[in-house]
Amino acid sequence: MRYKVVLSFVVGMVIAMVVAYANTLDELVKCTWSLESTLARGTGTLFKSPKDGKWYFLTAGHCVEDLRSEQKEVNPEGKEIVKEKWEDAYIVQKVTAIVDDIETEVGTVRLRAKVVAYSKFEDEDLALLEVYAMPFEAVSAQFAPPDLQLQLGEQVWHVGNLRGELTASLTAGHISAVGRIYKSKPFIQTTTVAVPGSSGGGIYVQRDGKFYYVGMITLGDAQASNINFAIPFQRIRKWLHKVGYAHVIGDKDEQQSN
C-alpha cells in the first residue's frame, strides 16, 4: 500500500510538471489575462513553471506599482527601517460563447495572485505574480529559446486588453526594428496595434508551427496605435535570472543578486 501511495504521488508530480503550451492563435488568447485590482489595470501572460508546476503571471512593472506601499518599522536595535508591502491583485479572463452568431459573455474567471518580483518603470519595468491556485488546466505561453533570432519585417502577434474593455484582443503586425534604442534601452519596435490597457501583453512569432513569446509591450506612441515598443525576451530572461525566477520559463535558477 505504501508503494502505491508513493507511486501515485510521483505520477501526480510528473503530471503537474507537464506544460501545455499555446500553439494556436486561439490558445495565445487563452494564455493572456487582464490584471485587475482596486488600484491597477493592465494585461499579462500566464506561464507554468516546469520545475514546480506553479502558475505565474508576467506583466509590466508600471501595471502593478500602485499595489506597492512602504511601511516604516523600528527594529530591535532602535533603527527605523522601511519594509515593502504589496496588495494582492486578481487576474481575470472573460468566458464567451457564440450565441446566434454574436459573441456573448457567459462568465468571468478571477484568480488571486501576489507580486513576487518587481522592477520600477525607469529600470526594467517588469513584474511577476504568482497565482495562488489554478482550479483548472490552463494554457501556458512558451518563452523563446535563447538562440532565437528575430528578423526585420517578420510577422508578430500581440494579445492585449485594448482600451481596458476589449479584453484579450488579438492583433497582428510586423517587426519594424530590432534593438531600437528608446529611453536608453533596447526595444523591439512593432506595428502590432496596442493602446492604453495593452501594457504587459506579449508579442509572439511563429517558428516550426510553434508560437514563441518574444517580448512584452510596455511603451507606445500616443498619436499612433501601430508604433509600439516591446521589451525583448533577452532582457526579460536576464531579469528573471536576476530575481531568482528563471525556472518560470524553464531555465535553471541562479543565486539571486542584491
> 10: pLDDT confidence band, cut at 50, 70 and 90?
very low
> 4: pLDDT confidence band, cut at 50, 70 and 90?
very low
- Determine the pLDDT at residue 7: 35
Mean per-residue pLDDT, 147-153: 94
- pTM to 2 decimals? 0.85
Structural domains in the chain plus CATH codes: 17-140 (2.40.10.10), 155-235 (2.40.10.10)
- Determine the pLDDT at residue 12: 41
- Determine the pLDDT at residue 11: 35
Mean per-residue pLDDT, 155-165: 78
Q: Which whole-number Å values give the CA distances from 57 to 7, 90, 207, 235, in the listed order?
A: 31, 10, 23, 17
Q: How far apart are CA 179 and CA 182, in angstroms?
A: 9
- Whether the pLDDT of residue 66 is over 90: the answer is no
Q: Which among 131, 139, 87, 100 has a CA at the least distance from the CA of 113?
A: 131
Mean per-residue pLDDT, 86-111: 78
> Mean pLDDT: which of 63-77, 84-98, 152-166, 167-181 is highest?
167-181
CA 146 to chain centre: 18
Q: Which among 172, 162, 152 has a CA at the least distance from the CA of 25?
A: 172
> 119: pLDDT confidence band, cut at 50, 70 and 90?
very high
Instruction: Give the tens place of pLDDT for each residue, 164-222.
Output: 566 777 889 999 999 989 888 999 999 988 777 788 999 999 998 899 999 999 887 76
